[in-house]
Amino acid sequence: MTAPDAFDAGWSEWPAPAKLNLFLHVVGRRADGYHLLQTVFQLLDRGDTVRLRLRTDGEIRRVDPMPGVAAGQDLAVRAAHALKAASGTNLGADIAIDKRIPLGGGLGGGSSDAASALVGLDALWGCGFGEDRLATLGLALGADVPVFVHGRSAWAEGVGERLAAIALPPRWFVVVDPGVSVPTAELFRAPELTRDAAHLTIPLFLSGAATVNVFEPIVREREAAVASALDWLAGHGPARLSGTGGCVFVAMESREAAETVVRECPQGMRAWVARGVAESPLRARRRDWDAEAG
């Protein structure tokens, strides 16, 4: 069901939160070459904002194209086309994104934008697909999209699409962007990548079993700015690379402690405070939309 007066409401806003990988193990490889992973996705309260506006002419248009990103590579636009094709709707949409998540930072920006486009357009177009069907559409766009569609921090396996609920303690994080965009595909091709990391279970992880991000030593060796960020942040706790990107993070006991660290951020890096959340702001936004739509 389309929300009342949706055609006259102009732009609607849909949060696109960032994520952290609290660890990232490659535990094997499928026959088709895809790597098998284990990770924990910690969703954050900070990220991009996807803005959507209905069109009655069926066109899908990105009104603020990302510099250096071709339209065919824009995940939010691809998500809109995928939902339009799957639903058969005659409606279209204008898409704009307020970007805060660094490109190539390992924080899931593109995947989160795609998920927010799917969830928001499902609401605006009245498709009624539900989370599971939207997540299936999202998986074809990227392995990280489903966790953002479901909107809950999660344990993940397979290529990242097999999700299980996990109860994470409430925490604050300092996230540091050293200004490096890391190409994911190159890391997966790296001959030095550990492809037989320890296979964990949720109870083992929650009990404090040793974990790593297997991509961290590769990125550290190749990107001096990332190595510097890790070294500086390690003075405040166990610093870690997020995903396969350039951003690094550390968990803190309080917002105040995190803000203190951010104020000490060296020149040439950008740091901010984010809160880990069990439920994403996108999921809460969709729930509010559905309640208003009746």
**Dist CA 124 CA 120 (whole Å):** 6
Catalytic annotation present for 144: yes
Angstrom distances, CA of residue 216 to CA of 103, 212, 221, 222: 18, 8, 9, 10
**Dist CA 93 CA 123 (whole Å):** 12
Q: Which two tokens stand for residue 205?
A: 């992880």
Determine how many CB atoms are found less than 10 A away from the CB of residue 261: 20
Are 56 and 7 within 8 A, CB to CB?
yes
Strand partners, 277: 43
> Helical H runs in the chain?
75-87, 109-124, 130-139, 145-150, 184-189, 202-206, 216-222, 224-233, 255-263, 281-293
Catalytic residue among 8, 19, 98, 122: 19
**Dist CA 97 CA 11 (whole Å):** 11
**Residue 75, phi-psi category: left (phi > 0), alpha (psi -120 to 50), beta (remainder):** alpha
Determine how many CB atoms are found less than 10 A away from the CB of residue 104: 17
**Dist CA 30 CA 45 (whole Å):** 34
Catalytic residue among 48, 144, 177, 290: 144
**Dist CA 7 CA 55 (whole Å):** 8
**Dist CA 215 CA 190 (whole Å):** 9
Query: What radius of gyration, in Å, describes the C-alpha atoms of the chain?
Result: 19
Active site residues: 19, 144
